[in-house]
Amino acid sequence: MGTSNFRTFWMSSQTETEEIVEVEVENDASLKIILYNDDVNTFDHVIECLVDICNHTMIQAEQVALIVHTKGKCDVKRGDLSELKPKCEALQDRGLSAQIEA
């Protein structure tokens, strides 16, 4: 959770006033599923899992698979814990190395 400053400007014909409002923002959307490279799963299997579980397009899934292969890991989905947990578990159930990180 973080705090953001929003500035609101109120203007009248005689005065100009600036008001700073502190707003509490809950950033659960900063959670993400990280998919890690392994030497077991094929590109086709990884792509199929990303399409089926994370709702990636075929092109997006292919790009992610290539990034995971070359960089060792890739952020594959962002959201809140209630959305990410079942998707991460489904990836793991299909033999992929994935975890949720902040």
Domains of the chain: residue spans and CATH: 28-101 (3.30.1390.10)
pLDDT for 29 equals 64
pTM strictly above 0.85: no
pLDDT band at 21 (very low <50, low <70, confident <90, very high): very low
Instruction: Specify the residue for token string 């079942």.
Output: 86
**What are 33-79's pLDDT values in tens digits?**
999 999 999 999 999 999 999 999 999 999 999 999 999 999 999 99
**Smallest Cα–Cα separation from 62: which of 76, 75, 46?**
46
pLDDT for 4 equals 40
Angstrom distance (rounded) from CA 38 to CA 96: 8
Give the pair of three-digit tokens for residue 49: 């899992």
